Structures are given as C-alpha cells and as structure tokens.
Amino acid sequence: MIRWFCPEVLLVLTGVTLILADALIPPGKKEWLPRLSILLGIALFIFTIWQSGQPMPEVWANLFVTDGLSLVFKPFFVLCLVGVTLISVRYPMGREEVVRTEFLALPFFSTAGLCLLASARDFLAIFVALELVAISLYLLAAFHRSRAASLEAGMKLLVMGGLSTGFLVMGIAWLYATAGSTEFSRIILEQAGRPASPALLFAVGLILTGLAFKIAAVPFHAWAPDVYEGAPTPITAFLAIASKAAGFVLLLRIFCLGAFALDSVGWVFRPILLTMGIATVTLGTLAALPQRNLKRYLAYSGIAHAGYMLLALGTWGESGMGTVAGYLWAYLLATFPVFIFVQELERVHGNADMRHLDGLAQRDPGPALGLTLCFLSMAGLPPLLGFSAKLSVFTALWSAGEIPGLVVGVIMAVVGLGFYLVPIRAMYWEREPDVVPAQRFPSFLVWILLLAGAAQLILGFQPRPLVRLVEKSLAPMVSGNLQGK
C-alpha cells in the first residue's frame, strides 16, 4: 500500500493541499500556511529517505524504476525543496503581494517532477517530468511581478527553456524513428553490438543539446547569469542546484546507465562531452572573476562546477558516475547556505552586491566564518568537502588518461581560488563601510551558516559517509546494468 504514496504523489498532493487551503481559508487567517509548508517539506524529506527504496508499482515499470540513482537523488531534490521553502517564507515580496501561497506550493510540483526524473527510464516519461519541472519554474522565476528584473528572468527562462525543450523533443522524435522505441532497455537491446547509425547520433546530439541548456554548459549557458540575477533568490537557488542536478541526473541516466551507454555512441560523444567540459570550466571560471553581484557570481561559479562534472562524465566510466553524484551533493551542501545568506543580504541591503560584504567579519564573525568555509569548499581547498569532489574528478581524469581535461581543470582550479577569495577578502580585510544598516542578520542565519561550515570541514576530513552513500547506491546498479547488457 505504502508504495503508492511514493514521494512524487505526496509532493503533488501537498502542493494541491496548499493551494486549496489558500483558496478556502479566508484572508487574514493564513499566517500559519508558510509554517505548514515548511513542516510538510521536512516530513516529506524524512518520508523520502525512509521510503525511496521501495520498488515502483508494476503498472509504471516501463516508465519508472527504483535504482541507485533515484535512491541518491530523490532525497537530494526533496532536501533542495526544504531549503527553498525555508527561504521562500522569508522572501521580501513587497506590500502589494499579499498572497504568496502559490510561491510556496509551486516548488512542490516542480520537485515532484524532479523526483520523477530521477527514476524515469523512458524518454516520454523524461519529457513529461521535465515539463512539470520547467513550467513551474517559469512561473516562479517571474513571480515577483512588481520587479522588472523578475519578469525579465521569467521571460528569458521561458524562451530558453522552450528552445531546449524543442531540441529535446526533436531528439526524441528522431530516436523513435531510428530505434523504434523510447524505452531505455529496448533501445539498448536494439542498438547493442551495432555501429551507431548517423540518425541515432543526430538524435543523441539533439538530446544532449537540450540537456546542456538545463545544466548551463557552454555554449548554452548565456541565460544563466541573467535569470539567476533577476529571479527571486529562493528560485535562483532552486534553478542553480536542483535544476542543474536534474540535468546531470538525466545525463548520467542516459549516457552512463541507460539508453546510450553504448560504446558506439560513446566513441563519438566522449570527446564532445570532454570538450564541452573544458570550455565550460574555462568560461565559468574566467567570467566569474569580474562579477560584483553575488547572484551572478554564483551563476558563473555554478557554470564552472557544471564543467567539472562534465569532465568527470566525459571519462565515461563507473568512477566518473560516482564522481558526478558525489560532486552534486558537495555542490548542494556548499552552495545552498550561500544562497540563504544572499537572500538575507537582500533583505537587509536591498540587493546582493558584493560590497555589502565589506568588513562583515568584524560585524558578524559567525556568518563570515561559515561563508568562508563554504566558498573555500567550492574552490576545492582541502580539507573541505569540495576538495574531495575535485579530487575525485581529477582522479577520474587521470585514470582515464584525459590529460588535456586534467590540465585545464587544474589551471582553472587555481584561477577559481582567485575568485572565491574575493568575497573572503572583502569580509576579512576590507574596512567596514561608514554606514552600516541597523537591521541585523537573524540569529538562525548564524547557526545555519556555522553548521554548513562545520559540515564542509567534517565531511572534508572524513568523506566516508558521503562516499559510502554514493558508492552503496551506485555500485550494485552499475554491475547490474552491465549484466543487463
């Protein structure tokens, strides 16, 4: 019985409940709805951890599967949802926007789509799930109607998302035309041992293009900084972390496990992925250097991270796959706290300009320390968590013999430290501005950031738990998949 309440169903139900509650309860008595949504989010997170190992109902067996990848990533997405709900509650929407329940409810739908993606094994299922994610996000990005920047962000996301969906659909259509199926296992059976036909390669190329938009990989990255800057910060966090992760989950699913885990496809697409990775790392890192707005800065940092993950993906092996999964968790743990901070910065100062960090360490040593650890972890400095992630990328590249990718990765890691040190420098050795706003950061922020910093340190010094999580869930699947072939 319980298996019917897999997180997707409950997520959708929760979203619907929130909207209904909003419609039925008279205005003025709705203050408890935000708190309710947080509680529901946390409950769902616990439920997901407890239950995501359940096999899928048989009627869905052709479309969805419960395996290591879904095991690792469903909690990931629901955790993102909890974080987003937490900061959405505090999003400064302005006076005219009294009704905000949709703002809280829509991420639930989006997360349901993400969870479906994590276990989809059919391109049609992928397409439907992806649209569920994307349409909610279009609405959310433009949600702050009184701000032109937010509308612009929503518009850009809509156009770019529509374009990427177009590529994806076209790819699926070509695929269906060549392979006669949209189901991964059928495609594999159909294509195994044969040289890949040009039509199949074309289809894979189109699908890759569609997904490259999602992960903001060069040359399909240009929308990211503008959208991130304009969208409401909770949604920026969702886009930067959950949506990007979704793209990678699909890439993993398609290229490492599913439809195209074929040598004939890999022979063509491995160099393409590596080249994209090199370009993405380079552009993300270099373009981040001059940024002075924290949200744009995080956008480029996210592009650079996507590049590292693409490099790992490009090694086309078992180790590359675990690396990407671990990297995404490390990225979540290091980046989300920074977004929480960015939103509080916006509450206090009105924008996320980096000059508001000047002298922060003297005003608020706690948040400054936590942020420093998060930034250093993103830079990949030992003994922090991000180092383990980068180390596994480098190791994967070395063992695959991909020296160009390795060299570029290393150089860009050095340059990257240069730009991650910029906010640290501002916090610790710039003079405090003369006018400091009277409003202080709330005390919960201090604790969240300190906890996040501690997590970077502890998981960095003892990365076992994270490695175990990834390894335990991915290793049996890889071998199972190989047998399946």
Partner 1 sequence: MNIALALPLLLAVPLVAVGAIALGASPRKTALWASWINLIPGFLVSGVVLRRGEIFYGPEGTNLREVFPVQFRLGLDGLSLPLLWLTLLVTVAAIGVARADVKRAMEYHICLLLVGLGALGAFLSLDLFYFFSFHEVALIPSFLLIGIWGQGDRTGAAWRMTLYLVLGSLLLLIALIGLVWAAPETARTLDWRVLTETLRAQPIPASQQTYLAALLIAGFGTLVSLVPFHSWAPGGYASAPAPAAMLHAGVLKKFGIYGLLRLALPLTPLGWRELSWIVGLMLAGNILYLGLASLAQRDFRWLLGFSSAMHMGTIFLGLISGTVLGLGGALVLMVGHGLSAALGFAVAGEVGQRAGTTWMKDLGGLATRTPKLWFYLMIAGMASIGLPGLANFAGEIMIFFGAWSAHPFLVGIAAWGVVLSSVAMLRAIRSIATGPVSSALDSKKGSDLNGFQEVWPFALLTALLFLMGLVPNLVLGPARPVLERLIQP
Q: Which is nearer to partner 1, 205 or 383 (CB)?
A: 383
Query: Any contact of residue 406 with partner 1 (CB under 8 A)?
Result: yes
Min dist CB 357 to partner 1, Å, is: 15
Query: Any contact of residue 372 with partner 1 (CB under 8 A)?
Result: yes
Q: Which is nearer to partner 1, 464 or 485 (CB)?
A: 464
Query: Any contact of residue 414 with partner 1 (CB under 8 A)?
Result: yes
* Residue among 240, 295, 247, 238 at smallest CA distance from 108: 238
Instruction: Say if CB 160 and CB 138 are below 8 A apart.
Output: no
What does each C-alpha distance from 342 to 212, 221, 232, 329, 346 come to in angstroms? 26, 22, 11, 20, 6
For 383, other C-beta atoms within 10 Å of its C-beta total: 16
**Rounded CA gap, 291 and 289, in Å?**
6
Q: Token pair for residue 412? A: 């860009």
Query: Any contact of residue 399 with partner 1 (CB under 8 A)?
Result: yes
Q: Which is nearer to partner 1, 89 or 417 (CB)?
A: 417
**Rounded CA gap, 358 and 363, in Å?**
10
Instruction: Say if CB 392 and CB 326 are below 8 A apart.
Output: yes
Q: Which of 34, 284, 359, 463 binds partner 1 (CB under 8 A)?
A: 463
Q: Which is nearer to partner 1, 145 or 432 (CB)?
A: 432
Question: Burial of 437 by CB count in 10 Å (0-12 exposed, 13-18 middle, 19+ buried)?
Answer: exposed
* Residue among 202, 184, 170, 336 at smallest CA distance from 252: 184
Query: Any contact of residue 348 with partner 1 (CB under 8 A)?
Result: no
Instruction: Say if CB 301 and CB 244 are below 8 A apart.
Output: no
Query: Any contact of residue 322 with partner 1 (CB under 8 A)?
Result: yes
Q: Which is nearer to partner 1, 418 or 476 (CB)?
A: 418
Q: Which of 376, 389, 408, 452 binds partner 1 (CB under 8 A)?
A: 376
Using DSSP's 3-state secondary structure scheme, residue 120 falls into strand
Q: Which of 173, 421, 458, 469 binds partner 1 (CB under 8 A)?
A: 421
Query: Any contact of residue 354 with partner 1 (CB under 8 A)?
Result: no
Instruction: Calculate the CA dihedral of residues 153, 158, 163, 169 and round it to 10 degrees.
Output: 140
Give 60's contacts (C-beta < 8 A, 6+ positions apart): none
How many amino acids of this chain bind partner 1 (CB under 8 A)?
35
Query: Any contact of residue 319 with partner 1 (CB under 8 A)?
Result: yes
Q: Which of 418, 433, 442, 476 binds partner 1 (CB under 8 A)?
A: 418
Query: Any contact of residue 289 with partner 1 (CB under 8 A)?
Result: no
Q: Which is nearer to partner 1, 339 or 387 (CB)?
A: 387
**Rounded CA gap, 352 and 109, in Å?**
28
Q: Which of 159, 410, 454, 482 binds partner 1 (CB under 8 A)?
A: 410
- Point out which span in 122-130, 153-161, 274-282, 459-467 binds partner 1 (CB under 8 A): 459-467
Query: Any contact of residue 461 with partner 1 (CB under 8 A)?
Result: yes
Place of tokens 């060299």: 407
Place of tokens 């990328």: 393
Can you give the binding site for partner 1, defined by CB under 8 A? 319, 322, 361-362, 372, 376, 381-383, 387-388, 391-392, 394-395, 398-399, 406, 410, 413-414, 417-418, 421, 424-425, 428-429, 460-464, 467, 471
